[in-house]
Amino acid sequence: MQNTQKNRDDNNSSRSRSESPLSQEEQERRKKLPVYERTLEEKIMSKKIKAVEKDRLIKVFNALIQLEPKKIEQEMDGNKTTEGDNKLGKQKKKKSNEPKFSAKAIYEMMKKLNYTPGRDEVEKMIWEIDEDLDEQISWYEFQLMFKRCIKDISYLEPRGLFNFVQFLMYAYDKEAIKNTITVEDTLELLYVRCGRQNLDGEIFKIFGQDEKTADGQEKEITYSDYLIQMKKKDFNNWTELENKKKKYDPSKEQILNKKD
């Protein structure tokens, strides 16, 4: 356990603080730079997502920050009268104004979904996309995570939080989040992202061959069921990509030629 924590701390310390969001002024300045001078993160954030996806993404983010426990601002009492203490108090207050959610909010949402996470599962979801290492997720980090995953063609992006958020986007219904989803819940989002030609294949990857129960009712799946299907999908996509790479790997051809 201690070694695991030490490795995580080492990884955290090695991550660049320059990855954290720039000031608004600096962002505007960098938008004017030629595309080839922008960082990979800036290129990803410049990608547009469909309006219906962004609307649902905002709703899910708001639902999560509402589950975040209220933060109690510590008032500067009579024992803290130094100038340094006063400045620190102002800095803390300013920082807390930005809407963010932590692992606690995810745990609360998972309770609503009747899902019990594995050991360190939620903390890992936060750590994988926590750009400024404050153990909380901001709207900027939330968008960056989502855009990275939907644009990812290497299948190497961490998808723990993405799979969770995607389920919530499907499950969002009339200002509330259900604890199961049906085919109908997924249609709109899948259609705008994948198009009609890929719609049936994506539905199959989520719900399997049977879209209805034995008595003709629309099939409902839980987050636990959904997560199993997504892990299979991600693994199969990654395996298929790796097999393609091996098939066309020049170094492999050279080794075979030498054996001949």
Q: Is the Cβ–Cβ distance between 93 and 73 less than 8 Å?
A: yes
Of the ranges 30-44, 94-108, 172-186, 237-251, which is most confident? 172-186
Q: What pLDDT, in 10s, does the model give residues 69-96?
A: 875 443 333 444 344 444 444 444 445 5
DSSP at 37? G
Amino acid making up residue 259: K
pLDDT of residue 88: 41
Kindly tell me if the per-residue pLDDT of 13 is higher than 70.
no
Rounded CA separation 76/80 (Å): 6
DSSP at 219? P
DSSP at 241? H
Rounded CA separation 78/22 (Å): 36
Residue 250, SS3? helix
- Report the percent of the chain where pLDDT is more than 70: 71
* Residue whose pair of structure tokens reads 């290497």 in the numeric block: 154
What's the whole-model pTM score? 0.73
Rounded CA separation 90/238 (Å): 47
* Beta-carbon contacts of residue 79 (< 8 Å; ≥ 6 apart): none
Q: What pLDDT, in 10s, does the model give residues 16-69?
A: 333 445 677 766 776 666 666 667 788 888 888 999 999 999 999 999 999 998
Q: What are phi and psi of 180, to 5 degrees?
A: -140, 160
* Beta-carbon contacts of residue 24 (< 8 Å; ≥ 6 apart): none
| Residue spans of beta strands (DSSP E) within 145-195 | 172-173, 176-177, 180-181
Rounded CA separation 23/96 (Å): 17
Q: What pLDDT, in 10s, does the model give residues 193-239?
A: 999 999 999 999 999 887 677 676 889 999 999 999 999 998 988 89
Q: Is the Cβ–Cβ distance between 92 and 201 less than 8 Å?
A: no
Rounded CA separation 218/130 (Å): 38
